[in-house]
């Protein structure tokens, strides 16, 4: 898949030109799992900005505007302070920057837990103001009624179970889940409940591998793993983690690049040229017409 560009003459920047292709849909994502098997695994990455979405879109099936943007973009200590306004602004930017992937926007903490009606108010705002294809929310059995309420009213829901970062205070940290029999039984029950309630897919985060494998085999909806198992129907990572933007990342992250090193080296090169006055050179300088 290629991206072509149009020159914005006002800013001299290139904007991607939408390709003559249809954006993937939620039903198309769900249909990738046939009789319990996803031959072509689903690729999902987080995206928070239009330019990031442009670059990731050709390689992904789904772009997730995760509430992880709280830590990644805003330097917050957790996802808890993230607001609906933030999710709407970044969700709209990612939809503007993509034309192929299904865009899913996280519902932030406090915007959906109180009641199915509260969840509908928040989710419908996300859908109307961003143009996203669906929302993601954290929780299993406890959120089943809300998931059914939203899906019956035309809002596709991706569920998120296992290690649910918005519940960090109740869980006591970000350690992997499912090491005790009680935790295992809860996560399995959560997965079955969200599928039964109508979620179109479920993110399984930070669980011991056999639970992710068992859920992937048991559920007819796609499972998307993060710190779960290669046997899941798809995978997701926080893009900045995957690019090597941070010095420390969770064990389940594989760094495919060293973007932090690249930014640092590039900024150092710029700083050096500013200080020795070799930038800007004649090439970057305007002169009066002769
Ligand atoms: O907020 C997020 O980025 C997420 C993914 C890590 C699944 O929920």
Ligand 1 nearest-atom number relative to CA 165: 8
Looking at residues 216-240, what average pLDDT do you find? 98
CATH number where 109 lies: 3.20.20.60
Atom 5 (ligand 1): residue with closest C-alpha? Answer: 66
Instruction: Give yes or no for residue 154 having a pLDDT over 60.
Output: yes
pLDDT tens digits, 179-211: 999 999 999 999 999 999 999 999 999 999 999
Inter-residue contact 103 to 94 (CB < 8 Å): yes
SS3 129: helix
138 annotated to a ligand binding site: yes
Instruction: Give yes or no for residue 19 having a pLDDT over 70.
Output: no
Residue 227 placed within a domain? yes
Looking at residues 44-68, what average pLDDT do you find? 97
Residue 279 placed within a domain? no
Tokens (6 digits) for 42: 């689903």
The pLDDT of residue 45 is 98
- What do you get for the CA distance between the two ends of the chain, in Å? 46
pLDDT tens digits, 105-133: 999 999 999 999 999 999 999 999 999 99
CA 66 / ligand 1 centre spacing (Å): 5
Domain count, the chain: 1
Instruction: Give yes or no for residue 225 having a pLDDT over 60.
Output: yes
The pLDDT of residue 2 is 47
Residue 82 placed within a domain? yes
Indicate which residues carry an active-site annotation.
205
Q: What proportion of the chain, given as a percentage, has pLDDT over 90? A: 91
CA 238 / ligand 1 centre spacing (Å): 7
CA 68 / ligand 1 centre spacing (Å): 6
Identify the domain containing residue 161 by its residue range.
2-259
Residue 272 placed within a domain? no
Residue 135 placed within a domain? yes
Strand partners, 270: none
Residue 281 placed within a domain? no
Ligand 1 nearest-atom number relative to CA 136: 8
Instruction: Give yes or no for residue 150 having a pLDDT over 80.
Output: yes
Instruction: Give yes or no for residue 17 having a pLDDT over 70.
Output: no
What band does 1 get if pLDDT is binned at 50, 70 and 90?
very low
Residue 23 placed within a domain? yes
The pLDDT of residue 9 is 75
Looking at residues 217-232, what average pLDDT do you find? 98
> Does residue 172 come out as left (phi exceeding 0), alpha (psi in the -120 to 50 range) or beta?
left
Looking at residues 258-266, what average pLDDT do you find? 98
Instruction: Give yes or no for residue 70 having a pLDDT over 50.
Output: yes
pTM above 0.85, yes or no: yes
Residue 237 makes CB contacts below 8 A (sequence gap 6+) with: 45, 46, 226, 253, 254
Residue 184 placed within a domain? yes
> Does residue 80 come out as left (phi exceeding 0), alpha (psi in the -120 to 50 range) or beta?
alpha
């Amino acid at each position: 898949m290629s991206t072509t560009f149009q020159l914005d003459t006002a800013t001299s920047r290139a904007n991607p030109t939408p390709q003559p292709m249809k954006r993937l849909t939620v039903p198309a994502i769900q249909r990738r799992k046939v009789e319990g098997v996803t031959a072509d695994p689903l690729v999902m990455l987080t995206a928070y900005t239009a330019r990031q979405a442009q670059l990731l879109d050709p390689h992904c099936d789904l772009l997730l505007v995760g509430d992880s943007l709280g830590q990644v973009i805003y330097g917050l200590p957790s996802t808890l302070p993230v607001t609906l306004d933030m999710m709407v602004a970044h969700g709209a930017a990612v939809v503007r920057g993509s034309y192929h992937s299904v865009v899913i926007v996280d519902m932030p903490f406090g915007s959906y837990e109180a009641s199915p009606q509260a969840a509908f108010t928040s989710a419908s705002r996300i859908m109307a103001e961003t143009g996203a294809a669906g929302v993601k929310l954290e929780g299993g059995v406890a959120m089943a009624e809300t998931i059914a309420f939203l899906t019956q009213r035309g809002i596709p829901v991706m569920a998120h179970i296992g290690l649910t970062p918005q519940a960090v205070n109740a869980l006591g940290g970000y350690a992997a889940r499912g090491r005790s029999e009680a935790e295992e039984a809860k996560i399995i029950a959560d997965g079955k409940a969200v599928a039964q309630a109508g979620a179109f897919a479920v993110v399984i985060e930070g669980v011991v591998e056999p639970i992710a494998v068992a859920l992937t085999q048991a559920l007819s909806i796609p499972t998307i793993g993060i710190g779960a198992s290669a046997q899941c129907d798809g995978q997701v990572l926080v893009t900045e983690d995957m690019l090597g933007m941070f010095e420390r990342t969770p064990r389940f992250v594989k760094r495919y690049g060293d973007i932090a090193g690249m930014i640092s080296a590039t900024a150092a090169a710029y700083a050096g040229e500013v200080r020795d006055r070799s930038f800007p050179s004649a090439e970057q300088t305007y002169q009066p017409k002769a």
